């Protein structure tokens, strides 16, 4: 039942099975299924004020100030006016509430934008446009090309043959290649007939809402028949319909119950480790404050009992007041007076500092990406200093480390390597954007977005080199790519594997244009001549074969088998006559793999007609057999794929974002561990990890965890751990006793912390999604985490969005570290929300990650500047601010404490009341803000050049409980000096003219002047980077102090406001005396002398990394030497990538059966000629290089290679 529109309703029982009926809202509403409306906001109009105040008063300090305010309203104990607390408290609450309201309004807008999207819904026999939020379970909806899928749907019918639809799942698993879904035949017959669809009354029984993206089980009951449902018939929310005119589906799960939303994770309130530490310290301070007040209250009781009775003649006690009661009242009076140990200005200043450091990130031109006009953005202002303490980074792969772009980079044909560029001296040149590109204008069907730089390969094509022609002929025929040609020459490739898209596009540009296909034929334009090859068989890819072959008959009647696959697989099947060519090609393969390229070997074989016909009959028998079908087919494939003739190899670059390897290298030097969590296949992730230097050939070992049972996963993890650290079993027994038992609730959080373990050598770990599911179970999570943390690099493949979040939460649970997650797609949202810091990259997969992130930018390489510069500076500044702020306020407060022993514990203030009010508000606020906004130990260039500077933040060396204790001890020393030296100097002292100077007002003025000058000098010692602003704030604060003091202590102010300004003439009388200034100088020197001596000795005896770098910087006059130029080294590698990493088994059958094919291709006229006269036509033709996506990109923003 709704209450004031808040949507509160009775909690429904846990759903065991979903049961729904098509076109029957009344039936489906009885189950109270969620609607398709989503909600990510926290407040509404009615709940904002109470909920927000409740959240704010959970902060201990806010509750403390509210308590103080209540105390100040009691006249018997209050010595300060109530408005001195209520004003700042309301200001803090209002500023925080305004920030929270702004964030929540943005969430409201985002929800509204999604909920108000329009979709066609079948209601009462008519298709009407309806908002997403009004769609309900059981509704039949119509989707059109390029539309987002509204909810989780059971596909009913589509415009494509055999009821296929093509969807892009980038937001779910990060993959941008198209996937095929197919409806049941019985529902596919409904087509787009509205009457039939409106009459459809099938019932669905299926699994309840869950987060499994790769699994669905259910059953459709229609016309007394039952039909099994699986994941291939389900369209999930977050997918996009591609290359399909229309489709119809019935809503199974809506809104928060969709698999996408089930994987999103909860939005949690993120707080920094310094925030949490401050909460603990504030509790310590409260205890310390209570002890001080108790001491003074006991002192007051004793003093009143022994001495106070002597004054009752002219200062009588009120009725009912005695010495113990006086002590009780004094306790609360001192609570008010000594409250400056936690001034409310501390929290105001912290928010200002964080806001300022956030602006630095927004304004940083070195993190601005001009190609997309995208600046870096700090989307939250509360987590800046946490950026300086990151220990673990969890990164997505696709779109985060890579650009989602596949490029044909190099190749080897008949022992000759193509793709490199040489100068006139024969030296290999580095290819840049300025390197001259090959001119493909001779080919009107060439893709204008394809770039190649080695002119010799084009010359070989034009000179009709037979090996080169055979090579590209193979690339244009041996694949499962589909071609779409809406206008003549305007080709669009649907590549099921991104590798194949790049390879077929390369063949197209070099004159062998794959143009269309049917189940029996492949149409290719070879050097301007239209040829049709008869497709006789496709020997399909699978993960064991790691190769695919096609058998074709050329127009001349020649039978040929073309094969491509992983080098290790193909080399075993080559003819002995290829041995010499194999050695040369192997050298090229090693060189390509050393550069991080994805390699593929291609070979061919001419077939005898009689042999093939006999083999074809045996193939047909095996294909139609009911027993051992797969084994029999594999034997036939092995038989015909032997004695192949080697042609060469291709090298495809899965293009990394600029600067990724260098960024990972720098972050590793800063002792930051990087884990890759990706939805891609293991081979893809492994290849990219080598490309970006996460995995290296020099590593001692790379462990692969791929078992399918819990016992197998445990055994593989244990074997890996024992190899890295043979004695770790004994240590594990000891640590297991410290770690919490299963399901046990630990009282002490420290028991859950897993210590770091050092191993000799460097290791890597790869684990698959199904193995990770077992590894994340309660009984195995410690074993998995322990093994993974011993490794230098960890790559988790084929993981779901929820598993990404679970890995992050596991590290947070057992490791006392700060984590950062970075990604660019909706599948990364749960991980971004789970980590301490979430970073979104505005990439190819939409803006979902950015909208859920704390910081965002356009390129992964900006992460090193965000952490090593902005993060480190923010952490350093915040730590300096807190240490100085606690120092100056504890010193201020302890002087009150010592004074209590000399004023009869009467709760009299040692300072003028105006000084107390202005001390934190005016006199000391701007200097500390200036330091906290502008200070830097070394500049940004040195910060980037020496990543080791980052390590102190990971270890909490700059501000911790011990640093706080040292700060308190320093304050106690300073307060003793600031109280007793002025007290001794003023005791029995006279002026130059012989008059008495030792009155309370003169002492108060001297004490507060000494205090302010001492803390300003301390500020100067703490400042490492001086600017005009710092100078102005420090000297300006002192000038303002003296100006205000002389003004308030003047005759005029006393005459106008007699009660408010009682210190008449004190300033001019005291500050005109030489002994007063001598006391100020002596006090200031004694306050700072131990600090200077301690720091000097520390730098000599135990210099920190900061001290060493600053010394080096001063030697080089603040300009770092130019970094050494990296010579381009030709690396070789024995590790090579496998074949078609994103390829899926079964596409060969789809192609040959015709189920994968779309409509009959348009009638082709004469083929375009390959002549110089065709250049103008070539410039006008608009084709698209098919990479990951199969959607036509806008002309305005072509991809850059």
With CA atoms as reference, report the closest residue to 792 among 879, 852, 729, 724. Answer: 724
Q: Find out whether 254 and 114 touch, Cβ atoms under 8 Å.
A: no
Closest CA to 599 of 649, 564, 645, 549: 649
- Assign 3-class secondary structure to 1139-1162: CCCCCCCCHHHHHHHCCCCCCCCC
Structure tokens at 1133: 């590698």
Closest CA to 382 of 410, 355, 417, 413: 355
Residue 815 is classified by DSSP as -
Burial class (CB in 10 A: 0-12, 13-18, 19+), 466: exposed
Strands 701-705 and 18-21: unpaired
Q: Residue 171 and residue 398: Cα distance in Å, rounded?
A: 11
* CB burial string 22-33: b at 16+ within 10 A, e below: bbeeeebeeeeb
The residues, any chain, with a CB within 8 Å of residue 704's CB and separated by 6 or more, are 682, 766, 767
Q: Which residue has the tokens 């695919």?
A: 548
Give the Å distances, CA to CA, from 647 to 462, 470, 572, 984: 18, 8, 15, 98
Helix (H, G, I), strand (E, B) or coil at 389: coil
Q: Is 396 a catalytic residue?
A: yes
CA end-to-end distance (rounded Å), the chain:
58
Burial class (CB in 10 A: 0-12, 13-18, 19+), 914: middle
CA dihedral over 779, 785, 786, 788, signed as positive or negative: positive
CB-based burial of residue 696 (10 Å sphere; 0-12 exposed, 13-18 middle, 19+ buried)?
Answer: middle
Cα R_g (the chain), whole angstroms? 38
Q: Are strands 390-395 and 164-168 parallel, antiparallel or unpaired?
A: unpaired
- Residue in the block written with tokens 């409310």: 344
Query: What residues are paired with 284 via a beta bridge?
Result: none
Give the strand pairing for 837-841 and 818-823.
Answer: parallel
How crowded is the C-beta side of 131, counted as CA atoms within 13 Å?
11
> Can you name the residues that pair with 549 across neighbouring β-strands?
539, 563
Nearest to 762 by CA among 715, 702, 717, 815: 702
For residues 817 and 752, the answer to whether their CB atoms sit within 8 Å is no
Pick from 345, 354, 165: nearest CA to 242? 165
Burial class (CB in 10 A: 0-12, 13-18, 19+), 705: buried
Please, are residues 500 and 1109 in contact by the beta-carbon 8 Å criterion?
A: no
**125 and 211 Cβ atoms separated by less than 8 Å:** no
Residue whose token pair is 């010495």: 323
Q: What's the sign of the alpha-carbon dihedral 315, 320, 323, 329?
A: negative
Alpha helices in 343-439 (DSSP H): 345-363
Query: Tokens for 429?
Result: 């040149």
Buried b (16+ CB within 10 A) or exposed e, 286-301: bebbeebbebbbebbb
Q: Which of 152, 364, 396, 937 is catalytic?
A: 396
Structure tokens at 1067: 């300033």
Residues in the chain: 1201
Cα 712 vs. chain centroid, distance in angstroms? 32
Provide the annotated active-site residues: 396
């Amino acid at each position: 039942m709704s209450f004031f529109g808040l949507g509160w309703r009775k909690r429904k029982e846990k759903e065991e099975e979903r049961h729904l009926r098509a076109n029957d809202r009344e039936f489906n509403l009885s189950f109270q299924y969620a609607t398709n409306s989503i909600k990510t906001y926290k407040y509404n109009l009615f709940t904002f004020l109470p909920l927000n105040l409740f959240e704010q008063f959970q902060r201990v300090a806010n509750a403390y100030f509210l308590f103080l305010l209540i105390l100040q309203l009691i006249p018997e104990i209050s010595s300060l006016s109530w408005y001195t607390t209520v004003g700042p408290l309301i200001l803090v609450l209002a500023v925080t509430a305004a920030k929270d309201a702004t964030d929540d309004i943005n969430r409201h807008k985002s929800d509204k934008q999604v909920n108000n999207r329009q979709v066609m819904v079948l209601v009462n026999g008519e298709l009407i446009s309806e908002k997403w939020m009004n769609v309900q379970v059981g509704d039949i909806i119509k989707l059109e090309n390029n539309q987002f899928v509204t909810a989780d749907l059971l596909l009913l019918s589509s415009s494509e043959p055999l009821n296929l639809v093509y969807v892009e799942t980038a937001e779910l698993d990060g993959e941008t290649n198209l996937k095929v879904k197919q409806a049941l035949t019985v529902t596919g017959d409904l087509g787009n007939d509205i009457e039939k669809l409106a009459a459809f009354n099938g019932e669905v029984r299926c699994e309840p809402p869950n987060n499994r993206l790769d699994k669905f089980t259910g059953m459709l009951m229609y016309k007394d028949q039952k039909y099994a449902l699986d994941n291939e018939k389900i369209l999930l929310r977050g997918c996009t319909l591609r290359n399909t005119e229309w489709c119809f589906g019935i809503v199974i799960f809506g809104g928060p119950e969709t698999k996408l939303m089930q994987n999103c994770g909860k939005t949690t309130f993120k707080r920094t480790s310094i925030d949490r530490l401050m909460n603990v310290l504030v509790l310590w301070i409260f205890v310390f404050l209570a002890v001080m007040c108790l001491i003074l209250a006991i002192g007051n009781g004793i003093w009143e009992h022994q001495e106070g009775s002597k004054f009752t003649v002219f200062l009588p006690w009120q009725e009912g007041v005695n010495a113990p009661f006086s002590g009780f009242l004094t306790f609360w009076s001192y609570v008010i007076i000594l409250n400056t140990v936690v001034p409310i200005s501390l929290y105001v200043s912290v928010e200002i500092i964080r806001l300022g450091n956030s602006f630095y990130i927004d304004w940083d031109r070195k993190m601005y990406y001009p190609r997309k006009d995208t600046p870096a953005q700090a989307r939250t202002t509360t987590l800046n200093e946490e950026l300086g303490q990151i220990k673990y980074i969890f990164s997505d792969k696709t779109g985060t480390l890579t650009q989602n772009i596949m490029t044909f980079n190099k190749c080897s044909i008949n022992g000759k390597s193509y793709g490199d560029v040489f100068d006139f001296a024969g030296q290999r040149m580095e290819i840049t954007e300025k390197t001259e590109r090959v001119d493909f204008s001779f080919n009107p069907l060439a893709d204008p977005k394809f770039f190649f730089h080695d002119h010799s390969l084009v010359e070989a094509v034009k000179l009709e080199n037979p090996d080169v022609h055979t090579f590209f002929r193979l690339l244009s025929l041996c694949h499962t790519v589909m071609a779409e040609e809406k206008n003549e020459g305007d080709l669009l490739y649907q590549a099921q594997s991104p590798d194949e898209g790049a390879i077929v596009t390369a063949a197209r540009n070099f004159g062998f244009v794959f143009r269309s296909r049917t189940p029996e034929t492949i149409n290719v334009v070879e050097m301007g001549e239209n040829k049709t090859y008869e497709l006789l068989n496709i020997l399909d890819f699978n993960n064991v074969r790691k190769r695919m072959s096609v058998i074709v008959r050329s127009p001349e009647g020649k039978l040929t088998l073309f094969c491509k696959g992983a080098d290790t697989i193909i080399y075993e099947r080559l003819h002995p006559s290829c041995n010499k060519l194999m050695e040369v090609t192997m050298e090229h393969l090693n060189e390509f793999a050393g550069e991080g390229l994805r390699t593929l070997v291609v070979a061919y074989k001419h077939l005898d007609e009689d042999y093939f016909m006999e083999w074809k009959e045996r193939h047909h028998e095996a294909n139609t057999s009911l027993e051992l079908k797969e084994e029999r087919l594999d034997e036939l494939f092995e038989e015909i794929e032997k004695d192949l003739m080697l042609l060469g190899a291709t090298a495809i670059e899965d293009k990394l974002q600029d600067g990724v390897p260098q960024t990972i290298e720098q972050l590793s030097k800063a002792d930051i561990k990087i884990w890759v969590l990706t939805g891609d296949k293991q081979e893809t992730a492994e290849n990219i990890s080598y490309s970006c230097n996460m995995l290296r050939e020099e590593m001692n070992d790379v462990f692969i965890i791929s078992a399918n049972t819990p016992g197998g996963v445990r055994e593989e993890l244990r074997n890996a751990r024992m190899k890295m650290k043979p004695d770790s079993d004994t240590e594990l027994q000891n640590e297991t006793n410290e770690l919490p038992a299963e399901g046990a609730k630990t009282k002490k959080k420290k028991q859950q912390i897993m210590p770091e373990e050092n191993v000799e050598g460097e290791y890597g770990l790869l684990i698959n999604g199904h193995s990770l599911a077992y590894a994340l179970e309660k009984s195995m999570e410690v074993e998995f985490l322990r093994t993974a943390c011993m490794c230098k690099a960890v790559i988790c493949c084929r993981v779901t969005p929820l598993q990404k979040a679970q890995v992050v939460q596991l590290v947070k649970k057992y490791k006392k570290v700060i984590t950062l997650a970075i990604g660019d797609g909706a599948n990364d949202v749960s991980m971004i929300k789970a980590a301490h810091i979430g970073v979104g990259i505005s990439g190819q997969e939409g803006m979902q990650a950015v909208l859920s992130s704390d910081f965002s930018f356009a390129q992964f390489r900006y992460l090193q500047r965000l952490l090593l510069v902005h993060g480190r500076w923010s952490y350093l500044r915040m730590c300096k601010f807190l240490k100085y702020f606690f120092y100056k306020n504890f010193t201020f407060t302890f002087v009150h404490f010592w004074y209590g022993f000399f004023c009869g514990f009467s709760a009299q203030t040692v300072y003028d009341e105006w000084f107390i009010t202005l001390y934190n508000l005016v006199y000391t606020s701007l200097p500390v803000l200036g330091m906290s906004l502008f200070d830097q130990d070394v500049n940004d260039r040195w910060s980037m050049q020496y990543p080791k500077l980052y390590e102190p933040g990971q270890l909490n060396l700059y501000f911790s409980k011990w640093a706080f204790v040292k700060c308190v001890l320093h304050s106690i020393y300073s307060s003793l000096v600031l109280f007793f030296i002025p007290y001794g100097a003023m005791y029995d002292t006279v002026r130059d003219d012989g008059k008495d100077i030792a009155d309370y007002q003169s002492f108060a003025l001297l004490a507060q002047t000494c205090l302010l000058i001492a803390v300003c000098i301390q500020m100067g010692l703490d400042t490492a980077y001086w600017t005009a602003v710092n100078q102005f704030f420090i000297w300006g604060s002192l000038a303002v102090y003296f100006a205000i003091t002389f003004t308030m202590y003047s005759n005029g102010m006393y005459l106008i406001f007699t009660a408010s300004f009682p210190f008449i003439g004190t300033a001019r009388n005291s500050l005109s005396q030489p002994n007063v200034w001598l006391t100020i100088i002596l006090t200031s020197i004694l306050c700072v002398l131990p600090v200077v001596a301690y720091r000097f000795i520390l730098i000599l005896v135990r210099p920190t990394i900061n001290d060493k770098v600053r010394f080096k910087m001063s030697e080089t006059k603040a300009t770092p030497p130019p970094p050494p130029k990296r010579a381009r080294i030709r690396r070789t590698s024995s590790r090579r990538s496998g074949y078609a990493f994103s390829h899926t088994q079964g596409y060969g059958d789809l192609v040959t059966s015709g189920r994968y094919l779309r409509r009959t291709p348009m009638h082709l006229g004469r083929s375009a000629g390959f002549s110089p006269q065709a250049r103008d036509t070539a410039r006008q033709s608009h084709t698209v290089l098919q990479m990951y996506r199969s959607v036509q990109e806008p002309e305005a923003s072509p991809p850059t290679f």
